[in-house]
Amino acid sequence: MERTLVALWFADIAGYSEHAAKDESGALRLVEILQRLASETVPQFRGRVVKFVGDAVLAQFPSAELAVRAAIALNNEYVQRSDAIGRVEHLRIGVHLADVAVAADGDLYGDGVNTAARIQEAAKPGQVVTSQDVWRQLRGRREFRFEHLGDRSLKGVGPMSLYVAMMESDATSVSKSSGTDNLRSQTQRSAIRSLAVLPFADLSAERDQEHFGDGVAEEILNALTKIGDLRVPARTSCFAFRGLSLDARDIGRRLGVEALLEGSVRKAGQRLRINVQLIDARNGYQLWSERFDREVADIFAIQDEIASSVVTAPGSFAGSRRRASFGQNIHYER
């Protein structure tokens, strides 16, 4: 068989087995939506659908850039199409760059195919996760943004550094993605009246930053409790979800909140990198995210800075116009 270097991805429907057990006809409808969307979207990015496997699809592309753009476009459009039938669902997509063997019928074989499938399994609902090889190709592109997930042990593959891929602007996706932009605007205009702050994940190689991550989460939680009518569950309730791999919507239902704030901490020498994401727990859609790269000089100042950025983030917290202050010099005012 001919061998060639390609960018490829696996995409599947998050929680499909559970859907099928509860509503088989509804689950099959979700598969039809995925197959139709993949057939429409992949060619727009000069790609080729290799095959459909149950609730999953394998596609190949001539470059890492086109593969990631197509994955993000498919992910966004799938939310819209599933919402149209009354149920907002999400995909999980794993993107990899690999040397593969191409069979006469067009099917792909090799370790790279298996790796892409394992990367997809490591993704959370709604995420496009890439290998380090893909990240290296795109890390200098201003239109892309990546969140490092750290090293993950993938079954049959071994340890691998993984990254969540995002676009700085949805305008460069498919033209039909305007529906996604509308959903984002509508969601952001819908005021958040309740928010839970989850424990921050420690992604440092030494795994020694859990206490710092907890401190950041507590500072943010304390700051949010000072915002008018915003309801914030207690620390003990939020931190009970530490280490659990649950859908954002499920956590939101359990805590009785409309939004979740989560993040991660990584330390390398005297440098800290903190990633923070605000998620709408009503549909699992990410509203806002930010990355902080700082020197480990004044940990308390870093915690205050991040808390300030969160409460002044775009996306409207419901509440009064009162002033809520925290730290010595940081204020939030609506």
Return the CATH number at 200.
Answer: 3.40.50.10610
Based on the fold, state whether residues 178 and 214 are members of the same structural domain: no
Structural domain range at position 279: 190-317
**Same domain, yes or no, for 203 and 215?**
yes
* Residue ending a domain, choose from 169, 187, 205: 187
Taking residues 3-26, report their average pLDDT: 86
Whole-model pTM: value is: 0.52
Within a domain: 323:
no
Tell me, yes or no, whether 164 and 180 share the same domain. Answer: yes
Q: Please report which confidence band the pLDDT of residue 1 belongs to, taking 50, 70 and 90 as the band edges.
A: confident
Note the pLDDT of residue 310. 67
Residues 139 and 181 grouped into a single domain? yes
Asked if 54 and 156 sit in the same domain, the reply is yes
Q: Are residues 24 and 151 in the same domain?
A: yes
74 — pLDDT class (breaks 50, 70, 90): very high
Confidence at 61, pLDDT banded by 50, 70, 90: very high
Q: Are residues 218 and 156 in the same domain?
A: no
pLDDT at 85: 67
Give yes or no for residue 32 having a pLDDT over 80. Answer: yes
Three-state DSSP string of the chain: CEEEEEEEEEEEECCHHHHHHHCHHHHHHHHHHHHHHHHHHHHHCCCEEEEEECCEEEEEECCHHHHHHHHHHHHHHHHHHHHHCCCCCCEEEEEEEEEEEECCCCCEECHHHHHHHHHHHHCCCCCEEEEHHHHHHHCCCCCEEEEEEEEEEECCCEEEEEEEEEECCHHHCCHHHHHHHHHHHHHHHCCECEEEECCCEECCCCCCCHHHHHHHHHHHHHHHCCCCCCECCCHHHHHCCCCCCCCHHHHHHHHCCCEEEEEEEEEECCEEEEEEEEEECCCCEEEEEEEEEEECCCHHHHHHHHHHHHHCCCCCECCCCCEEEECCCEEEEC
How would residue 224 be classed by pLDDT, with cut points 50, 70 and 90?
Answer: confident
Would you say residue 325 lies in a domain? no
Q: Which tokens in the block code for residue 267?
A: 């330390």
**pLDDT greater at residue 12 or residue 88:** 12
> Considering the domain boundaries, does residue 324 fall inside one?
no
Clarify whether residues 134 and 220 are in a common domain.
Answer: no
The reply to whether 334 falls in a domain is: no
Asked if residue 50 has pLDDT above 60, the reply is yes
Examine the pLDDT at 222 and tell me if it is beyond 60. Answer: yes
Claim to verify: residue 19 and residue 160 sit in the same structural domain: yes
Structure confidence at residue 130 (pLDDT): 95
> If you search the block for the tokens 């792909």, which residue do you land on?
108
Q: What is the pLDDT of residues 130-188, one digit of tens each?
A: 999 999 999 888 888 898 888 888 888 888 899 999 986 543 333 333 333 433 433 34
Residues 75 and 144 in one domain: yes
Query: pLDDT tens, 255-292?
Result: 888 888 888 888 777 777 888 888 888 877 777 777 77
Is 165 within the bounds of a domain? yes
Q: Is the pLDDT of residue 97 over 60?
A: yes
Number of domains observed in the structure of the chain: 2
| CA pair distance 100, 104, nearest whole angstrom | 13
**Same domain for 26 and 166?**
yes
- Whether 172 maps to a domain, the answer reads yes
CATH, residue 49: 3.30.70.1230
- 326 in a structural domain: no
Residues 111 and 206 in one domain: no
Q: Is residue 331 situated within a structural domain?
A: no
